[in-house]
Structure 1
Amino acid sequence: MKYLILILFSLTFLSGIGQNQIIDSESKEPVSYAYIKSINKLKGVISDYNGFFVLDSSFRALDSIIISCIGYNNGHFAVRDIIKNKAVELNPSTQNLSEVMVTAKKMKYQRKNLGITKKPKKTRFPDYVSTGKNGEEKATWIPNEYSVPGYLKNINVYVSDLGYPDAYFRIHVYACNEFETKPDKELTKSNIIASATTGNEWVTIDMSNEHIQVGENGCFIGIEWFDSPKSKFHLDTIFNNGQTWDENKSEYKDTIYSRIRKGNGAVLGAIYQKYRHSRNKHWQNNSDGQMYSYLMDSIMYTTATFPDGNTYLRTPDNSYQGVMCINIDVSFPKNKIDLTYNEPKKRKLNKLEKVKQNLFKYPQNNIHELFASLIKAFENDDIVYVLKYLCVYKEDQLNQILSEFVDEENEDYISDEEKDTIVKNLSLFKSKFDSAVLTKIDDKHFQLSVDNEIYNIIIDDGLWKINPYGYSIYK
């Protein structure tokens, strides 16, 4: 009897948990896709586009919940209060006005487009990239080929006709870490929701009011998926045209692949890029909410097998990775992007020795990669590569370096002892990156310092380089 009473009491309590709506405390407008989580549990739900949500039986009467959404202060509520008051208010967060101050100085600006502007082929469907579960987020790195800061105006996202084109998704913008190519601080301050209509179309999101500055290393555009109200859990088979390598004829042959599509929201367009160019571009959040990148470095130059049984050697040029079709419109100061930087070293070093650039072996997309490439190149005895592609210097400095090289082809440019010293100094400096300070000198020149050690570095055409006459590298 006692057990029956407890059951009846629980059913009575749960029957009081109905549909609630989250609204803006000032405008009284619905807050779309807010997160509702219990303090004592990992359990959580997401409100819909109109701010409605339902607490299920896992939320107890004495539990407190946290409601959060970008652009709003987190709200703490008791479940009993939620039951009594069907409308739940969130307070908009106050933006730091000093961050959006615009200088009064007159300056001419020019808009440039960064990212992927091509429409994807209908037959290509990298499903692991272009769709996601409810609340899942994936991000794409947009490099800044002009290497000067600019202001984000629009984000353009290609939505295909697969899945549910009219399903909503949320936009996130992240700064690129100064030292590594990875998402850093989130720059969006508002709850920006977008959707397409029928699909196979570019969706443009106006970002002017966010006053976001795109840095020298570019930025990351994140897409957070939400299920369509019309969706049903499905497992559809999609047939795509593809190609495999015919070892006997040394050519590609047409093949039909079957792919499994999962998800209940929008499906973005995506293209395949060679891994040499797509590395570090695709990121997604894990169960802890942290972003991670799917890297294929460990399987490069290993043997792989096609579905038909043929084998091939994976390389950065025959391995492909899906990248979402996202591009951004950025407003740059016109006089800054018109500047060209001519490196006097290229002409002279090409006469000395013809060395081709290899950005996969020696990447320079960020400061961390630059120092890792310097260390690796010195260890591999690629001294000319270091001077030609990883370094930058004035004309008189180049002449001094060249004068120190011997004319005999069989002799090393620098001794093993000197190389060991350089590698040791660079490795020691790199190990202190957590406490490093990056100081901007002008649009392209920076000073990297730790304690009393200083390196002069430059970014040009999206690549970082170092002055070899900086502290301790060439002593």
Structure 2
Amino acid sequence: MKFTFSYLSVLLFINFGFSQTKIIDSETAYPVSYATISFGDGQGLFADDDGMFIFTKKLYKDVDSIFISSLGYKDLALATVNLPKIIEMQIEHDKLDEVVVTAKIDRKFKEETIKPYLDDDYYKCWLPTIESEIAVFFPNGNEKLKKVTSVLFPFALESRDWDKRNRANADKRKFSTLFKVKFYKNNDGLPGEVMTYTNIVFRVTEKNGDEFELDVSEHDLFIPDNGFFVSLQVLGYTDDKGKLLPNKKYKEIKGRSGTVKIPTNFRPLLPFTNEIDSHNTYIKRVFISGNNWVQFKKGNGIESSLLKTDLYNYGVGLNYNEYRDE
């Protein structure tokens, strides 16, 4: 199956030419996958799984410097003039996961599920852009040991024919999108330190339906006493093999007061709900260094039609093992 996005990327290459840059680990020379490349003005893009990204002055005329970051590495700032083909990142050893030797947990457990909130109403959905990361808080209900086994992400699919959008068997608009997932410790009610430095990504298409189950059992994610956050961040569209495409991540619209950059919306949509009593959803802007998380609620300076209709939460679900006391 071929996607239109691949064709558009080829056109970009033909019209502008392209210069690929690779980000690598300075010690191992392995690629730094899915690194964040910020432009300092709230815009940016991501490297692919091979650490490659495309930057040209024709595509980004007003960008003089870039800011590169990735989990487990020291941040790096570079001028775009004579940008090297190979960029080395230094490992930040003091922030890497602690190596903890533990015995296998050989205790009985009960499988528990927090169901996701599904909705196919387009007007109740968040439109993902790569400039935003969205996080959902999960409290720890008791003192028992709990291990996260999978996360259940709800998605809303769009019908090809708008007039048939309410039919369950309507053909859906095709897409192939790559997402990154992070897990954060709870720091006084906000996402804090990451719980793992492993890159966790997954690709979703319309064939996955309205719910995607991401297996994270291999990452040994035990729920802290004060709860934790799971976040979702769209990296962009992919080709039919799951390779991240180097599409421009915002549209430029010329007006009387100058050119305005509008972030591109990616599919699938994220359904929001008003069936959760507390405000568990938080957002932040990815390409602004040091930007703070903001709780998704009225009065926090967020302009969103979802808040106007009291839709406060992205209803992510969870599967976990709750271990019995010894």
TM-score in terms of structure 2 length: 0.64
Q: 1:175 to 1:104 in 2, by over 3 A?
A: same
User: Corresponding residue for 2:268?
Assistant: 267
The structure that is helix-richer by fraction is 1
1:53 aligns with 2:58: no
How far does residue 212 in structure 1 lie from its aligned partner after superposition? 2.9
User: Pairwise mapping of residues 166-205 of structure 1 onto structure 2 (< 5 A)?
Assistant: 166-177=176-187, 180-198=188-206, 199-205=208-214
How far does residue 91 in structure 1 lie from its aligned partner after superposition? 4.4
Are the aligned partners of 1:164 and 1:264 in contact in 2 as well (CA < 8 Å)?
no
Instruction: State how far apart, in whole Å, the 1-side matches of 2:21 and 2:315 are.
Output: 36
Equivalent AA in structure 1 for residue 62 of structure 2: S
How far does residue 292 in structure 1 lie from its aligned partner after superposition? 1.1
SS at match of 1:196: strand
How far does residue 81 in structure 1 lie from its aligned partner after superposition? 5.3
Instruction: State how far apart, in whole Å, the 2-side matches of 1:159 and 1:172 are.
Output: 18
Identify which range, 218-227 or 67-76, moves more after superposition.
Answer: 67-76
Are the aligned partners of 1:124 and 1:271 in contact in 2 as well (CA < 8 Å)?
no
Q: 1:140 to 1:201 in 2, by over 3 A?
A: same
Runs (5+) with no aligned partner, structure 2: 1-15, 159-172, 238-244, 252-262, 301-308
How far does residue 335 in structure 1 lie from its aligned partner after superposition? 2.1
Are the aligned partners of 1:69 and 1:191 in contact in 2 as well (CA < 8 Å)?
no
Q: 1:280 to 1:181 in 2, by over 3 A?
A: farther
Are the aligned partners of 2:130 and 2:234 in contact in 1 as well (CA < 8 Å)?
yes
Q: 1:135 to 1:175 in 2, by over 3 A?
A: same
Q: 1:203 to 1:30 in 2, by over 3 A?
A: farther
Are the aligned partners of 2:178 and 2:202 in contact in 1 as well (CA < 8 Å)?
yes
Instruction: State how far apart, in whole Å, the 2-side matches of 1:232 and 1:289 are.
Output: 20
Q: Deviations over 1:325-365 (max 9, x none)?
A: 422333332227xxxxxxxxxxxxxxxxxxxxxxxxxxxxx
Are the aligned partners of 2:130 and 2:235 in contact in 1 as well (CA < 8 Å)?
yes
Equivalent AA in structure 2 for residue 53 of structure 1: I
Q: 1:332 to 1:159 in 2, by over 3 A?
A: same
Equivalent AA in structure 1 for residue 278 of structure 2: R
Q: 1:190 to 1:95 in 2, by over 3 A?
A: farther
Instruction: State how far apart, in whole Å, the 1-side matches of 2:108 and 2:73 are.
Output: 32
How far does residue 171 in structure 1 lie from its aligned partner after superposition? 0.8
Q: Deviations over 1:168-189 (max 9, x none)?
A: 1211211223xx5432333231
The equivalent position to 2:34 in structure 1, one of 18, 24, 32, is 32
Equivalent AA in structure 2 for residue 291 of structure 1: W
Q: Deviations over 1:32-78 (max 9, x none)?
A: 252244xxx54652134353120433344xx5x43112243323445
Equivalent AA in structure 1 for residue 134 of structure 2: K
The structure with the larger Rg is 1
User: Corresponding residue for 1:326?
Assistant: 316
Work out which structure has the larger RCO, using CA pairs closer than 8 Å and 6 or more positions apart in sequence. Answer: 2
The equivalent position to 1:121 in structure 2, one of 112, 119, 131, is 119
Are the aligned partners of 1:157 and 1:268 in contact in 2 as well (CA < 8 Å)?
no
Instruction: State how far apart, in whole Å, the 1-side matches of 2:177 and 2:25 are.
Output: 22
Q: Deviations over 1:182-231 (max 9, x none)?
A: 32333231222222122424333333444333123321111112332579
Instruction: State how far apart, in whole Å, the 2-side matches of 1:99 and 1:24 are.
Output: 19
Are the aligned partners of 1:227 and 1:264 in contact in 2 as well (CA < 8 Å)?
no
SS at match of 2:205: coil
Are the aligned partners of 2:182 and 2:194 in contact in 1 as well (CA < 8 Å)?
yes
1:22 aligns with 2:31: no
Aligned length: 260
Are the aligned partners of 2:43 and 2:131 in contact in 1 as well (CA < 8 Å)?
no
Equivalent AA in structure 2 for residue 216 of structure 1: D
User: Pairwise mapping of residues 383-402 of structure 1 onto structure 2 (< 5 A)?
Assistant: none
Q: 1:150 to 1:283 in 2, by over 3 A?
A: same
Equivalent AA in structure 1 for residue 119 of structure 2: K
Q: 1:323 to 1:59 in 2, by over 3 A?
A: closer
Q: 1:16 to 1:202 in 2, by over 3 A?
A: closer
Equivalent AA in structure 1 for residue 55 of structure 2: V
